[in-house]
Amino acid sequence: MQVFDITKWQLASVIACGYNFFSEGRLEEAKKIFEGLAVLDPNHPYVQTMLGAIYQRMKQYDRAIVRYTFALKLHPNDVCALTNRGEIYLMLGRFTEAADDLKRALQLDSQKKTPAAYRARLLSIVAAESLQSLRQKHPAQTKSS
Protein backbone atom coordinates (compact mmCIF):
# COMPACT_ATOMS: atom_id res chain seq x y z
CA MET A 1 0.00 0.00 0.00
CA GLN A 2 1.42 3.33 -0.99
CA VAL A 3 0.03 6.68 0.00
CA PHE A 4 1.76 9.69 -1.55
CA ASP A 5 4.88 7.59 -2.17
CA ILE A 6 5.05 6.42 1.46
CA THR A 7 5.35 2.68 1.88
CA LYS A 8 3.30 0.83 4.49
CA TRP A 9 6.50 0.36 6.52
CA GLN A 10 7.29 4.06 6.49
CA LEU A 11 3.69 4.81 7.45
CA ALA A 12 3.94 2.33 10.32
CA SER A 13 7.14 4.00 11.51
CA VAL A 14 5.54 7.43 11.53
CA ILE A 15 2.51 6.02 13.37
CA ALA A 16 4.84 4.47 15.97
CA CYS A 17 6.63 7.79 16.40
CA GLY A 18 3.32 9.60 16.90
CA TYR A 19 2.19 6.97 19.39
CA ASN A 20 5.43 7.36 21.34
CA PHE A 21 4.82 11.11 21.60
CA PHE A 22 1.27 10.40 22.77
CA SER A 23 2.49 7.91 25.39
CA GLU A 24 5.01 10.44 26.67
CA GLY A 25 2.32 13.09 27.03
CA ARG A 26 3.75 15.16 24.19
CA LEU A 27 0.29 15.77 22.79
CA GLU A 28 1.07 18.70 20.49
CA GLU A 29 3.76 16.68 18.69
CA ALA A 30 1.51 13.63 18.50
CA LYS A 31 -1.34 15.76 17.19
CA LYS A 32 0.82 17.18 14.41
CA ILE A 33 1.95 13.73 13.34
CA PHE A 34 -1.53 12.19 13.35
CA GLU A 35 -3.14 15.19 11.68
CA GLY A 36 -0.52 14.89 8.94
CA LEU A 37 -1.19 11.19 8.65
CA ALA A 38 -4.92 11.90 8.38
CA VAL A 39 -4.19 14.07 5.37
CA LEU A 40 -2.05 11.36 3.78
CA ASP A 41 -4.47 8.54 4.56
CA PRO A 42 -7.83 9.88 5.80
CA ASN A 43 -9.43 6.42 5.83
CA HIS A 44 -6.97 4.86 8.23
CA PRO A 45 -9.09 3.91 11.28
CA TYR A 46 -6.17 3.78 13.72
CA VAL A 47 -5.09 7.28 12.75
CA GLN A 48 -8.62 8.55 13.37
CA THR A 49 -8.82 6.72 16.72
CA MET A 50 -5.47 8.17 17.80
CA LEU A 51 -6.63 11.67 16.91
CA GLY A 52 -9.71 11.03 19.02
CA ALA A 53 -7.51 9.93 21.93
CA ILE A 54 -5.27 12.97 21.56
CA TYR A 55 -8.22 15.37 21.49
CA GLN A 56 -9.77 13.53 24.44
CA ARG A 57 -6.62 14.03 26.52
CA MET A 58 -6.56 17.68 25.45
CA LYS A 59 -10.17 17.97 26.68
CA GLN A 60 -11.36 18.87 23.18
CA TYR A 61 -14.31 16.52 23.52
CA ASP A 62 -16.32 17.58 20.48
CA ARG A 63 -13.32 17.04 18.22
CA ALA A 64 -12.60 13.70 19.88
CA ILE A 65 -16.18 12.52 19.33
CA VAL A 66 -15.95 13.46 15.64
CA ARG A 67 -12.74 11.45 15.21
CA TYR A 68 -14.02 8.42 17.13
CA THR A 69 -17.26 8.49 15.13
CA PHE A 70 -15.33 8.59 11.86
CA ALA A 71 -13.02 5.79 13.06
CA LEU A 72 -16.09 3.70 13.87
CA LYS A 73 -17.50 4.27 10.38
CA LEU A 74 -14.23 2.88 9.02
CA HIS A 75 -13.97 0.08 11.59
CA PRO A 76 -17.28 -0.49 13.42
CA ASN A 77 -15.82 -3.11 15.78
CA ASP A 78 -13.16 -0.88 17.35
CA VAL A 79 -13.62 -1.55 21.07
CA CYS A 80 -11.18 1.21 22.01
CA ALA A 81 -12.98 3.90 19.99
CA LEU A 82 -16.35 2.79 21.37
CA THR A 83 -15.08 2.80 24.95
CA ASN A 84 -13.39 6.18 24.64
CA ARG A 85 -16.36 7.79 22.94
CA GLY A 86 -18.64 6.25 25.56
CA GLU A 87 -16.45 7.70 28.28
CA ILE A 88 -16.74 11.18 26.77
CA TYR A 89 -20.50 10.85 26.43
CA LEU A 90 -20.64 9.84 30.08
CA MET A 91 -18.56 12.86 31.13
CA LEU A 92 -20.85 15.13 29.10
CA GLY A 93 -23.98 13.67 30.71
CA ARG A 94 -25.11 11.98 27.50
CA PHE A 95 -25.92 8.80 29.40
CA THR A 96 -27.98 6.98 26.77
CA GLU A 97 -25.28 7.40 24.12
CA ALA A 98 -22.63 6.39 26.66
CA ALA A 99 -24.55 3.27 27.60
CA ASP A 100 -25.04 2.34 23.93
CA ASP A 101 -21.31 2.65 23.11
CA LEU A 102 -20.19 0.82 26.22
CA LYS A 103 -22.72 -1.98 25.72
CA ARG A 104 -21.52 -2.42 22.13
CA ALA A 105 -17.87 -2.49 23.29
CA LEU A 106 -18.71 -5.23 25.77
CA GLN A 107 -20.60 -7.24 23.14
CA LEU A 108 -17.57 -7.08 20.87
CA ASP A 109 -15.31 -8.33 23.65
CA SER A 110 -17.30 -11.41 24.65
CA GLN A 111 -14.11 -13.32 25.51
CA LYS A 112 -12.90 -10.48 27.77
CA LYS A 113 -9.51 -10.04 26.10
CA THR A 114 -9.46 -6.35 25.12
CA PRO A 115 -7.96 -3.97 27.70
CA ALA A 116 -10.33 -1.16 26.65
CA ALA A 117 -13.27 -3.42 27.45
CA TYR A 118 -12.18 -3.62 31.09
CA ARG A 119 -12.69 0.15 31.24
CA ALA A 120 -15.97 -0.25 29.36
CA ARG A 121 -17.22 -2.65 32.05
CA LEU A 122 -16.54 -0.12 34.80
CA LEU A 123 -17.88 2.82 32.82
CA SER A 124 -21.02 0.92 31.85
CA ILE A 125 -21.87 0.53 35.53
CA VAL A 126 -21.53 4.29 35.98
CA ALA A 127 -23.62 4.94 32.85
CA ALA A 128 -26.36 2.57 34.01
CA GLU A 129 -26.44 4.13 37.48
CA SER A 130 -26.54 7.62 35.97
CA LEU A 131 -29.42 6.67 33.66
CA GLN A 132 -31.28 5.09 36.56
CA SER A 133 -30.83 8.19 38.69
CA LEU A 134 -31.91 10.46 35.84
CA ARG A 135 -35.03 8.36 35.22
CA GLN A 136 -35.95 8.53 38.91
CA LYS A 137 -35.51 12.31 39.04
CA HIS A 138 -37.19 13.05 35.69
CA PRO A 139 -39.43 10.10 34.72
CA ALA A 140 -41.47 12.02 32.11
CA GLN A 141 -38.36 13.25 30.27
CA THR A 142 -36.57 9.90 30.07
CA LYS A 143 -39.31 7.44 29.09
CA SER A 144 -37.82 6.99 25.61
CA SER A 145 -34.24 6.71 26.88
Question: Pick the residue with more confidence: 12 or 128?
Answer: 12
Shortest CA distance to 54 belongs to which of 37, 41, 40?
37
Could you give the percent of the chain with pLDDT greater than 70?
Answer: 90
Of the listed ranges 3-12, 42-51, 77-86, 98-107, the least confidently predicted one is 3-12
What pLDDT was estimated at residue 123? 80
Domain 6-76 is classified in which CATH homologous superfamily?
Tetratricopeptide repeat domain (1.25.40.10)
DSSP string for 74-127: H-TT-HHHHHHHHHHHHHTT-HHHHHHHHHHHHHHTTTS--HHHHHHHHHHHHH
* HSE toward the beta carbon, residue 37, CA cutoff 13 A: 27
What residue ranges do the domains of the chain occupy? 6-76, 77-145
Residue 19, classed as helix, strand or coil, is: helix
Is the distance from CB of 82 to CB of 111 less than 8 angstroms?
no
